[in-house]
């Protein structure tokens, strides 16, 4: 832990050293991005881990991958009087945001365009539902559609796909997924 009075760059060095072993959430995001990168350039123009800046319409369609709420689901269960399990099961929300645009407000295909990309996202995730062995479970939990810029020349459709993921790690070392 940095001492009071540490300079900002000292903290950056510490963070960089810690990132040599990424937290399980980052590993899962990166694996999801890798699973979805096969959609470039046929379905989407890019897949971004945790993008926070707005997309330009010329960069669409595109995907952003986020992780959200995470909770322990089983911790140190003792079965039949056996030793405590040092591992912790965690439930994590993995979010895939789909953004598409259509040519004009006269085009009725905004929802269809979202569905085409969603279909490809679901297929790509299901090809490796463990995301390179990191997850024990991965299920689509919800899909929410909305649109932005209905009054503009090129409206943008947004589809948020929430996946329920379960993984296991040691709480003393959350970089190691077991």
Dump pLDDT digits (tens) for 128-149. 999 999 999 999 999 999 877 6
Q: Is the pLDDT of residue 17 over 70?
A: no
Lookup: tokens for 80: 């039949």
pLDDT at 75: 53
Distance CA 163, CA 67 (A): 9
- Give helix 24-36 / helix 110-127 axis angle, nearest 10°: 110
CATH of span 22-177: 3.30.70.1700
Q: How many CB atoms lie within 10 A of CB 67?
A: 20
């Amino acid at each position: 832990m940095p001492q009071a009075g540490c300079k900002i760059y000292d903290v950056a060095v510490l963070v960089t050293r810690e990132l040599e072993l990424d937290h399980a959430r980052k590993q899962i995001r990166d694996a999801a991005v890798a699973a979805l990168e096969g959609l470039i350039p046929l379905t989407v123009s890019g897949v971004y881990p945790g993008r926070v800046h707005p997309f330009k319409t010329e960069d669409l369609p595109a995907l952003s991958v986020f992780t959200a709420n995470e909770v322990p689901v089983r911790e140190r269960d003792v079965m039949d009087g056996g030793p405590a399990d040092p591992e912790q099961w965690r439930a994590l929300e993995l979010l895939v945001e789909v953004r598409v645009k259509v040519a004009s407000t006269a085009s009725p295909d905004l929802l269809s365009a979202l569905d085409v990309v969603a279909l490809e996202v679901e297929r790509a995730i299901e090809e490796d539902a463990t995301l390179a062995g990191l997850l024990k479970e991965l299920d689509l939990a919800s899909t929410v559609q909305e649109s932005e810029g209905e009054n503009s020349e090129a409206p943008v459709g947004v589809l948020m796909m929430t996946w329920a993921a379960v993984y296991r790690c040691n709480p003393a070392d959350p970089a190691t997924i077991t």
